[in-house]
Amino acid sequence: MTGAGAHRARRVRRAARRGEPGLTRFTVAALRAQPRVLARLGAWSAAEALPGLLTGFVTARAVDDGFLAGQPGIGFAWLAGLGVAVVVGAIGSGRSFRCVGALVEPFRDQLTQRVVTGALHASTTAGARPDTAAVSRLTHQVEVIRDTLAGLVMVVRGFLFAATAALLGLLSLAPVVAALVAVPLLAGLALFVATLPAMVHRQRWYVRAGEELSEQATAAVPGQRDGGASGRQPRAPPRW
């Protein structure tokens, strides 16, 4: 594909995308369309964070009210309760992974449908060339986005619930220490949010580079085949 042809094809694809929601809005809409799955994910995530919430408090009660007070039965009872919380947390962790799968798989299907629809529209528009970059989107980028979304959901919900549970547990034992821990935690979170646009920009550049490579390879490989079939291969060296 020549430079002018590639530019025209990109212009047609941009025109085809007009009126469609951006990826962020598309993702938010896809997630909001599954409120029950989100509710289950939140509930199981809270169950997973239960040991982090109770470990410090239960251990303190077991030591102070049980073993140090000469009543080991009470101490073991507190520890048994903590064991139950650990089991509940393990079950919540496993169920959370299932909920994430139920959340991202429909999103992947909707994204695939959107990519195919956009590619067909761009390729059938008068004066446009086939959207060869759609192959890269379907075979690689859709899976990357699905995996990225699943990873983000797992990391974000794990961080939010675990950090909240840990801070609440620490607050029940030592409020001053909890405040000291919360300050650097919030500062680190703010720094992450501040650097997020730059990371998104680099990821977008990486995705677009993959599309450009797919377009150039699709245009060059048939040319090499035709050149070899006509005996002109020595005169037409590869362009990459």
Length of the chain: 240
Task: Tell me which residue of 132, 103, 136, 105 sits closest to 120, measured CA to CA.
Answer: 132
Indicate the pLDDT class of residue 135, thresholds 50, 70 and 90. Answer: low
Domain assignments of the chain as residue spans, ordered by start: 3-223
Per-residue pLDDT at 178 exceeds 80: yes
User: What pTM value is reported for the model?
Assistant: 0.69
| The two structure tokens encoding residue 32 | 């909001």
pLDDT at 75: 92
Contact 30, 81 (CB under 8 A): no
* Cα–Cα distance list, 197 to 20, 26, 181, 184, 200 (Å): 22, 18, 26, 21, 5
Lowest mean pLDDT among 64-78, 101-115, 202-216: 202-216
Per-residue pLDDT at 80 exceeds 90: yes
Q: How far apart are CA 24 and CA 155, in angstroms?
A: 18
Share of the chain above pLDDT 90, in %: 24
Per-residue pLDDT at 5 exceeds 80: no
Amino acid letter, residue 30: A
pLDDT at 51: 92
- Residue burial 223-234, b: 16+ Cβ < 10 Å; e: rest: eeeebeeeeeee
| The two structure tokens encoding residue 207 | 């995705």
Per-residue pLDDT at 232 exceeds 70: no
pLDDT at 127: 61
Task: Tell me which residue of 83, 113, 82, 99 sits closest to 45, measured CA to CA.
Answer: 99
pLDDT at 4: 44
Query: Per residue, what are the HEC states of 181-220?
Result: HHHHHHHHHHHHHHHHHHHHHHHHHHHHHHHHHHHHHHHH
pLDDT at 8: 44
pLDDT, averaged across the chain: 79
| Structural Rg of the chain based on CA atoms | 27
Q: Which residue has the higher pLDDT, 211 or 113?
A: 113
Q: Which residue has the higher pLDDT, 116 or 71?
A: 71
Lowest mean pLDDT among 50-54, 168-172, 175-179, 233-237: 233-237
| Residue indicated by tokens 């699709």 | 218
Highest average pLDDT, of 64-78, 116-130, 180-194, comes from 64-78
DSSP-derived secondary structure for the chain: --HHHHHHHHHHHHHHHTTSPPHHHHHHHHHHT-HHHHHHHHHHHHHHTHHHHHHHHHHHHIIIIIITTT-HHHHHHHHHHHHHHHHHHHHHHHHHHHHHHHHHHHHHHHHHHHHHHHHHHHHSSTTPPP-THHHHIIIIIHHHHHHHHHHHHHHHHHHHHHHHHHHHHHHHH-HHHHHHHHHHHHHHHHHHHHHHHHHHHHHHHHHHHHHHHHHHHHHHHHHHHHHHHTT-GGGS----
CATH superfamily, with its number, for domain 3-223: ABC transporter type 1, transmembrane domain (1.20.1560.10)
Residue 42's φ and ψ, nearest 5 degrees, are -65, -40
Indicate the pLDDT class of residue 193, thresholds 50, 70 and 90. Answer: confident
